[in-house]
Amino acid sequence: MEEWRRNVSFFKYHERRFVRSEDSRCWSRERLSDWLKICQLLLFLILAGLGLRGFPGLSEAVSLSYECSYFTEHIRTVTPWNYFNIKIALVGDCQQNCGLCQPYVDDVGQLSAVLIPDWAKVFCKWQRSPAGSNFYLGTCGLDHPLSPSTNRIYFVTLIVPTTKRNIVHVTYFSYLSGDLYPLNCGPLDWTSYTARSLQAGKQAAFKVPLKDIFGFVKKSSTGAVPSADVKSFSSAINLSFAKQISNVSIQYSETEGFLLVSFIPITCGTWTARAGIEGWTGKPTPEATFKGSPFELRISAGDLWVEECTAEWLVMLYTAGKSSRLRVYLRDRYGNALVGNTKIIKFNIYTYAKSGGVVYEEASYSLQSDMPQIEYVTFTSNKAGVFSYYVSYGSKQVKGSPFKLTRLPALHPK
């Protein structure tokens, strides 16, 4: 306060010194008074910028105000095992008006912080910044990880000048998940079809939850994976069954925190399969197997694909009036045998007459009991000669159609 009085006296002395008559065109008392007000305003703005509220003057507070002390820097997010900073300003002598507070620079003895609810212990290292001021910078951490949440968590700073604890102020922060940890990613969650019930030609997909070292899912509400890590992680995904599938697509759901790996199964069979990463450039390891691996992968044949079916005659020579028999191999679009087939496919069997007309044969159909992916087509014709028989279903021809057949004349007894 004494320094403030000296400053004011200095201004008044120079005000008297420079006051002259208006005719001398020097400063008048009114103009100097205006100049003094401007200087006071600038001083107020400088002090306000240092964190003081209202027009504090230059005096120091004698009594600390817990209600008016405040945060000058708020924390926003906290991650596992990482430090975070908070900065508070201590003020006092507020006279029930926080706008009238003075800086409190006396030693407070100890500063501490607590988490509400008490899910973890907070430890902080405090220092005045700058030295001797009423600003305190705390470098803080938590003694163990929390469960990430979109809800704000109360973080209460306490001042302990004596043995009494006093709440100064409350701030809020979001506790986020840690860095991506491949060894914890998973387990695989299959959508639409399980790994044991995939079908060739029908899209399949599984989700890989992305997690940190503590098993917390990394999503938008708890700390999403950075786009650069998503890209490098996705490119490092390795599927041991890559040769049995096609059209692989990988997408990241930031909202739910998983990678969706979709693909088209193309090769039938049963395998012990693995999904993981290999050659990832991130931390902590370039290789990892996702939880839920290895697993049994079973792909069955898809729907009938006429163009992939093939056929052959049981014998190359037949006799007119005797049954002719054609063996048809049922396939899906990828050439997989329809091993579990139970359906009779009534193929059309026809040839072209010399006149150009189409001649359809009336046929019977049967499946081979021990190999239902093979169908037999049987028909009888009394015409001898060399014929080209077309085999079709709907508007599609089986592969290799037409099939040449030689039929010998019937043998008549003498």
**What are the domain boundaries of the chain?**
2-49, 64-175, 182-300, 306-408
For residue 41, the number of C-alpha atoms closer than 13 Å in the C-beta half-sphere is 6
Region class of 66: left (phi > 0), else alpha (psi between -120 and 50), else beta: alpha
Q: In the predicted model, what is the mean pLDDT of residues 33-56?
A: 45
User: Mean pLDDT over residues 273-285, rounded?
Assistant: 91
Helix %, strand %, coil % of the chain (to 5): 15, 40, 45
Query: What pLDDT was estimated at residue 13?
Result: 33
pLDDT digits (tens, 9 = 90+) for 364-378: 999 988 999 999 999
CATH number of 306-408: 2.60.40.10
Q: Is it the case that residue 243 has pLDDT exceeding 80?
A: yes
What the block records as the tokens of 174 is 């979001």
Residue 332 has pLDDT above 90, yes or no: yes
What mean pLDDT is predicted for residues 32-54?
46
Query: Taking the CB of residue 175, how many other CB atoms lie within 10 A of it?
Result: 24
C-alpha dihedral, 115 to 149 to 84 to 227, nearest 10°: 180
Identity at 154, one-letter amino acid code? Y
- State the pLDDT at residue 42: 47
Across 267-295, average pLDDT:
93
Banded model confidence at residue 394, pLDDT cuts 50, 70, 90: very high
- Res. 24: pLDDT tops 50: no
- Structure tokens given for 216: 């917390």
Instruction: Kindly report, residue by residue over 284-301, the tens digit of the pLDDT.
Output: 889 999 999 999 999 999
**Structure confidence at residue 56 (pLDDT):** 42
Residue 17 has pLDDT above 60, yes or no: no
Sheet holding 166-175, edge to edge: 77-78, 166-175, 153-159, 111-116
Is the pLDDT assigned to residue 53 strictly greater than 90?
Answer: no
Which top CATH class is 64-175?
mainly beta
Cα separation, 46 vs 43, whole angstroms: 5
What average pLDDT does the segment 233-258 reach? 96
Strands 166-175 and 77-78: parallel
pLDDT of residue 35: 52
Query: Using CA atoms, how far apart are residues 125 and 291, in angstroms rounded to an integer?
Result: 39
For residue 52, what pLDDT is reported? 42
Consecutive H or E run containing 231: helix 227-235
Give me the pLDDT at residue 389, please: 97
Strand 237-239: give its sheet, edge to edge. 237-239, 275-278, 287-289
The pLDDT score that the predictor gives to residue 347 is 97
- The pLDDT-based confidence of 16 (bands split at 50, 70, 90) is very low
Contact in structure between 175 and 146 (CB atoms under 8 Å) = yes
Residue 161 in this model has a pLDDT that exceeds 90 = no
Find the mean pLDDT for residues 241-264: 96
- 4 — phi, psi (to 5°)? -60, -45
Q: Is the pLDDT of residue 183 over 50?
A: yes
- Helix (H) / strand (E) element for 34: namely helix 29-49
Going by C-alpha positions, the residue among 312, 248, 236, 226 that lies closest to residue 276 is: 236
Local structure of 75: helix, strand or coil: coil
Fold of 182-300: Immunoglobulin-like (2.60.40)
Sequence letter at residue 156 = V
Residue 230 pLDDT greater than 70, yes or no: yes
Amino acid sitting at position 21: S
Q: Tell me, what's the pLDDT at 404?
A: 96
Whether 116 contacts 211, CB under 8 Å: no
More confident position, 208 or 411: 208
Residue 163 pLDDT > 70: no
More confident residue, 78 or 254: 254
Confidence of residue 160 (pLDDT cuts 50, 70, 90): low
Instruction: Report the share of the chain in percent with pLDDT over 70.
Output: 80
What does the block give as tokens for 221?
């509400």
**Whether the predicted pLDDT of 113 surpasses 90:** no
**Which whole number is the average pLDDT over 12-24?**
33
Per-residue pLDDT at 278 exceeds 70: yes
The edge-to-edge listing of strands for the beta sheet with 363-368 is: 310-313, 323-329, 371-380, 363-368
Residue 19: the pLDDT is 31
Q: What percent of the chain has pLDDT over 90?
A: 54
How sure is the predictor about 202, in pLDDT bands with cuts at 50, 70 and 90?
A: very high
Give yes or no on whether 182-300 and 306-408 have one common fold. yes
- Tell me what pLDDT residue 261 has: 97
Residue 231 has pLDDT above 80, yes or no: yes
> What average pLDDT does this structure show over 201-221?
93
What does the pLDDT look like over 339-364, one tens digit per residue? Answer: 989 999 999 999 998 888 999 999 99
